[in-house]
Amino acid sequence: MKYDIAKLTAAIAAASLLIGTSAARAADNDKSTGQQSSDQQSQQSGAATDQNQSQSGAQSQTGAQIGDASGAISQAASDPQSFVKEAYQENLAEIQLGQLAQQKAEKQDVKEFGQHLITGHQALNDKLKQLADQKNIQVSAQLDARHQRMVDECASLSGADFDKKFLSQQIRAHRKAIGLFQQAASKNSDAEVKDFAQNNLPALRQHLQMAQQHSAASEAAGAQQPGTQQQDSQQQQQGQQQGQQGQQQQDQSQPQQQPPAPKQP
C-alpha cells in the first residue's frame, strides 16, 4: 500500500513538472510572438513617420519656391530702380520675341501678333527710358541671362512648333508682367513709377488676351485636323469605288466578239 502511494506521488510530481515545462514554453512563445509583433509595428510606424517627413519636406520646398518667386516680384515692384530695370528687360525680350515671330511663325495671325508686340513693347520701353533718365536709373540694352533663355527657347524652333511654344510663353510672361505692374501700382515707393505701372496695365492685359485667343484658336485647329484627314480618306475611297464601278459598267456595255466561223473545205 505504501509502495502504491509512493508511485502515485511520483507520477503526480512528473505530471506537474511536465505541465510546468509546457506552460513555460508557451509563455516563451507568446513573449517571442509579442516581441515580433511589436517590432513590426515599430517598423511600420517608423516607415510612416519617414514618409510623412518626406512629404512634409517636399511641400515645404514647394512652398518655399513659390514664396521666393512671390517675394522677388514684391521686391522688384516696391523698389523704383528694381521695377524700372525689370520692366525694361521684359520689354526688350518681348520685342525680340516679336521679331522672331515675324521670321519663324507658321500662321499669319501669329506673325501679326508678333508685330503687335514689337510696336506695343517698344512704346512702353520708350516711355520707361524717359522715366529712367529722370530718376537717374541705368538700364541695360542687353538681355540678362533669364530673358535671353526665353528668346533662345523660341529661336531654336520654327513653324507649328514655334507657334505653340511662342504663344504659351507669351501667356506666362504677360501674366507675370501684369502681376509685377499691379504690385508696383499699389506698393512702389515712387509716385511717378506707380503712375507708369497703373497707366500701362491695360496694354499688358490686351496682350495677354490676344495670346490666349491665338492659343485657343491653334488648339481648336489642331483638334479638327484628324477629322479632316479622315474625311479626305473617305472621299478618296469613294472615288476609287466609283472608278471601279464605272470600269465594270463600261466592260459590260462593250459587245462580245464572236469567234470566226470555220472555213468550208
- What's the pLDDT score for residue 3? 47
Residue pair 114/100 in contact (Cβ under 8 Å)? The answer is: yes
What is the average pLDDT value for the chain, to the nearest integer? Answer: 78
pLDDT band at 79 (very low <50, low <70, confident <90, very high): very high
Q: Is the pLDDT of residue 203 over 70?
A: yes
Of 4-18, 92-106, 191-205, the poorest mean pLDDT is in: 4-18
Rounded to an integer, what distance in angstroms lies between the CA atom of residue 133 and that of residue 244? 79
Q: In what helix (H) or strand (E) does residue 43 lie, and over which residues does it extend?
A: helix 2-78
Query: Model confidence over 39-69: pLDDT tens digits?
Result: 555 555 555 445 555 454 444 443 343 344 4
* Grid cell locating 215: 492659343
Residue pair 170/207 in contact (Cβ under 8 Å)? The answer is: yes
Sequence-distant (6+) residues with CB within 8 A of 83 are 76, 77, 180, 184, 188, 193, 197
Q: Is the pLDDT of residue 253 over 70?
A: no
CA distances from 253 to 75, 246, 247 (A): 88, 11, 10
Sequence-distant (6+) residues with CB within 8 A of 102 are 111, 114, 115, 118
pTM metric for this prediction: 0.61
Of 22-36, 94-108, 156-170, the poorest mean pLDDT is in: 22-36
User: For residue 69, which of 212, 200, 180, 181 has the smallest C-alpha distance?
Assistant: 180
* Grid cell locating 112: 501679326
Q: Is the pLDDT of residue 263 over 90?
A: no
pLDDT: which is higher, 174 or 223: 174
Rounded to an integer, what distance in angstroms lies between the CA atom of residue 16 and that of residue 43? 40
Q: Is the pLDDT of residue 212 over 50?
A: yes
Rounded to an integer, what distance in angstroms lies between the CA atom of residue 156 and that of residue 162? 8
> What's at 6, amino acid-wise?
A
* Grid cell locating 257: 466578239
Sequence-distant (6+) residues with CB within 8 A of 86 are 76, 180
C-alpha count within 13 angstroms, C-beta hemisphere, residue 243: 6
Strands (DSSP E) along the chain, which ranges? none
Per DSSP, the chain holds a count of helices (H) and strands (E) of 6, 0
Residue pair 73/197 in contact (Cβ under 8 Å)? The answer is: no
Sequence-distant (6+) residues with CB within 8 A of 150 are 93, 97, 169, 173
Instruction: Return the biggest CA–CA distance within the chain.
Output: 151
Q: How many CB atoms lie within 10 A of CB 54?
A: 10
Rounded to an integer, what distance in angstroms lies between the CA atom of residue 67 and that of residue 74? 10
pLDDT mean over 88-99:
98
pLDDT above 70 as % of the chain: 57
